């Protein structure tokens, strides 16, 4: 066990009604008893009882706010951010990026540690990686009074919030990551796909505040997809995103690694773009170099970035149409360069353009959030917060 990762085992869990109130306060901010009752369909007596229980348990504070018009002062309930702290950790192929967050998802400290080098088969040694994660948690635990739980995020397929069925960048297959990390730290652990973590973070602290259904697309080292439907994040995608990633854009286009001519991935996947540019130039070239060349006016590089941006526009339109949501969140390291190209919005606008006798108009709310690895780790932390609060 990590000595400094003190497990506050004495803290009682929240009842489902207490959780509903806490969740409302975290997502929507301070609220009067009256507003809470209206939103959560609770009687005034129930709301008062719940408010008292949360204040007594240190989860919320309550203050009297004078009414501006005639009337009694109102009791305003506010979540106490420091009531819980959670470590979030995003694993890439070579690094564990960690943050410790309070209950509002505010990052209190960050840290990173190198993961062990992969073996000859390209697999990152599992037991040594668990030790690194536990040490990272221990380091972050020293920065806050106590840690209540851990959220871990990995690229690939995760089952039952614990098992890495397919760790895309780590070479892991069917390994239980939650149990050994919980044993090392003595803390509750939840493991999730990294884009699902981002979707769950957006559900509470981003797009979910205004949209109950939305999609998340990440563009960086690989294409990633997350789905929130009617306020619930889809935990495991049926296809790991293949159906959207390989949707056709232009049959005359370049081939993806699976051999599809002109699919979304062929245009948009970073490695595919680098391959296409490298073949044209006769030397290896990185995505950032292509962006730089495009910004400097190189026509071939601009074609590649425009093609990727256009494919992203088609992907957004297809995703929004299939989900029947007006909101798609674009995130990831490469998203800024692509949304800066007019080709993305042109593709979306063309897809939305109604026919001459059609009256229905629709606008899409496309939110672009370029992410650092710290932001990814924060997504994992928010999943950890939801886990320790008892969100199913
Ligand atoms: Zn393809």
Measure 247 CA to ligand 1 centroid, in angstroms: 7
Instruction: Look at residue 218 and tell me if it is in a domain.
Output: yes
In this structure, are 226 and 153 located in the same domain? Answer: no
Domain interval for residue 118: 84-201+374-389
Measure 258 CA to ligand 1 centroid, in angstroms: 5
In this structure, are 219 and 364 located in the same domain? Answer: yes
Beta-bridge partner residues of 151: 88, 190
Which of 82, 101, 129 terminates a domain? The answer is 82
List of residues 6+ apart from 372 with CB closer than 8 A? none
Q: Which of 158, 155, 170 is nearest to 116 (CA)?
A: 170
In this structure, are 95 and 76 located in the same domain? Answer: no
In this structure, are 53 and 190 located in the same domain? Answer: no
Q: For the segment 57-99, what is each residue's pLDDT rounded down to a tens digit?
A: 999 999 988 776 667 778 899 999 999 999 999 999 999 999 9
Measure 172 CA to ligand 1 centroid, in angstroms: 24
**Secondary structure element (H or E) that encloses residue 97, with its range:** strand 95-102
What CATH number is associated with residue 38?
1.10.10.10
Q: For the segment 193-226, what is each residue's pLDDT rounded down to a tens digit?
A: 999 999 999 999 999 999 999 999 999 878 999 9
Check residue 168 and give its pLDDT.
Answer: 86
Measure 297 CA to ligand 1 centroid, in angstroms: 29
In this structure, are 189 and 241 located in the same domain? Answer: no
Q: Which of 73, 54, 42 is nearest to 11 (CA)?
A: 54
Measure 46 CA to ligand 1 centroid, in angstroms: 54
List of residues 6+ apart from 59 with CB closer than 8 A? 14, 18, 22, 79, 80, 83
- Give the total number of structural domains in the chain: 3
In this structure, are 359 and 312 located in the same domain? Answer: yes
In this structure, are 366 and 378 located in the same domain? Answer: no
Give the separation between CA 176 and CA 48, rounded to whole angstroms: 43
In this structure, are 261 and 318 located in the same domain? Answer: yes
Measure 197 CA to ligand 1 centroid, in angstroms: 25
Confidence (pTM): 0.91
In this structure, are 357 and 226 located in the same domain? Answer: yes
Q: Which of 96, 88, 50, 355 is nearest to 201 (CA)?
A: 88
Measure 368 CA to ligand 1 centroid, in angstroms: 24
Instruction: Look at residue 72 and tell me if it is in a domain.
Output: yes
Which of 82, 112, 130 terminates a domain? The answer is 82
Instruction: Look at residue 137 and tell me if it is in a domain.
Output: yes
Which of 37, 59, 82 terminates a domain? The answer is 82
């Amino acid at each position: 066990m990590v000595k400094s990762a003190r497990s506050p085992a004495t803290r009682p869990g929240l009842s489902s009604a207490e959780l509903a109130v806490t969740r409302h306060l975290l997502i929507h901010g301070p609220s009067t008893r009256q507003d809470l009752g209206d939103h959560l369909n609770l009687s005034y007596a129930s709301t008062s009882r719940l408010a008292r229980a949360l204040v007594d348990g240190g989860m919320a504070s309550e203050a009297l706010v004078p009414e501006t018009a005639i009337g009694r002062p109102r009791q305003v309930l506010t979540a106490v951010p420091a009531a819980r702290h959670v470590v979030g950790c995003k694993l890439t192929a070579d690094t564990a990026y960690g943050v410790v967050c309070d209950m509002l998802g505010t990052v209190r400290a960050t840290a990173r540690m190198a993961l062990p080098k992969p073996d000859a088969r390209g697999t990152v040694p599992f037991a040594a990686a668990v030790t690194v994660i536990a040490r990272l948690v221990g380091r972050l635990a020293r920065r806050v009074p106590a840690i209540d739980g851990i959220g871990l995020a990995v690229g690939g397929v995760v089952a039952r919030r614990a098992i890495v069925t397919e760790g895309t960048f780590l070479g892991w297959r069917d390994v239980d990551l939650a149990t050994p990390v919980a044993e090392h730290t003595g803390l509750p652990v939840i493991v999730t796909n990294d884009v699902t973590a981002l979707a769950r973070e957006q559900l509470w602290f981003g797009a979910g505040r205004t949209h109950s259904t939305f999609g998340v697309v990440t563009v960086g080292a690989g294409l990633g997809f997350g789905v929130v439907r009617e306020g619930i994040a889809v935990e495991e995608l049926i296809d790991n995103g293949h159906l959207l990633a390989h949707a056709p854009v232009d049959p005359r286009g370049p081939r993806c690694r699976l051999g599809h001519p002109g699919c979304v991935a062929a245009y948009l996947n970073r490695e595919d773009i680098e391959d296409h540019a490298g073949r044209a130039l006769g030397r290896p070239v990185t995505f950032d170099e292509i962006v730089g060349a495009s910004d400097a006016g190189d026509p071939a590089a601009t074609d590649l970035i425009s093609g990727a941006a256009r494919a992203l526009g088609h992907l957004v339109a297809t995703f929004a149409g299939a989900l029947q949501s007006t909101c798609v969140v674009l995130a990831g390291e490469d998203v800024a360069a692509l949304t800066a190209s007019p080709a993305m919005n042109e593709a979306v606008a063309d897809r939305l353009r109604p026919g001459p006798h059609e009256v229905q108009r629709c606008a899409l709310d496309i939110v672009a959030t370029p992410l650092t690895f710290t932001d990814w780790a924060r997504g994992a932390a928010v999943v950890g917060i939801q886990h320790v609060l008892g969100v199913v």
